[in-house]
Structure 1
Amino acid sequence: MSEEHPGIRRFREEHARRGGRGEIVVLPDGVHTAALAAEALGCEVGAIANSLLFDADGSPVLVLTSGAHRVDPVVTAERIGVASLRRASPDFVREHTGQVIGGVSPFAHPAPLPTYLDPWLARHEVVWAAAGHPAAVFSTTYEELRDITGATPVEVV
């Protein structure tokens, strides 16, 4: 048996500490989009919660959005009360989350991040989100995801 990736291990520990009840699954390496993850998991793409880090004038903002949506940065910035949001660079993402793009989990970061949650995810009984590595996901519910992240619901489109 191979050793678990450190990012997944850190996520697993924080998930347990926060009382997460979902299953952690490691998918094949080629599953690197919401659509491919949904296919591998047998769910709708809208049930995939993408963890997207944005740069709000140098400050990180995490948006957990349905795989069926693209975040409108202008509308979302206005709704959360920041001047602007732009997609974060890979270095900015790693600095603020300790993870790489494609594997950013909704929590288990070096420091707490302001986090917003797409209410569209509530339409799904089970939601899947990244678990600290691009090939790892965990199951949860909208309510549990909101509660364990402390996220504020906000329409992102």
Structure 2
Amino acid sequence: MSDSDATFRLATLSDLDALQELYQTHLGLNDQTMDPKTVVDTFKQVLAQPGLSLICAELNSEVIATCTLILVPNITRNCSPYAFIENVVTHKDFRGRGIGEAMMKATIQRAWDAGCYRICLLTGVHNEKAQAFYERVGFKTTKVGYELRAEGFPSRQPN
């Protein structure tokens, strides 16, 4: 089976452990230890949230990449929704093989199919690899992003 055989699907409750592993290991997150019941309850909320799609890339029955697509209803732009893409990560062993790019293209198409007039995402100002990746899949720097962070949640530094 080749990398091009990766499939893309919506996450299910059984994907929680694999997704946590991707986030912790491959995004370099240093999340505090969380209560397992809280994690499961929150994940169930994520899966049930209208307009939110947690996309998984799967190869040989293993989740190797993921991203979150958030569709936002809107009363401007002819009432066309807009989208945010968040939490994009590909397992380090599968980077550079086109899987993340294919996942992003499938996610972008999902937003266009939903009638979105624009798709937004943020990445670290110093994360040149991620910036180049997003430009390869069609994103352009057209705005300046700002954020506020809650105390105890510092911005992630590039690897």
Report the TM-score when normalising by structure 1: 0.28
| Bigger helix share | 2
Report the TM-score when normalising by structure 2: 0.28
Question: Which fold has the larger relative contact order, with Cα–Cα distance below 8 Å and residues 6 or more apart in sequence?
Answer: 1
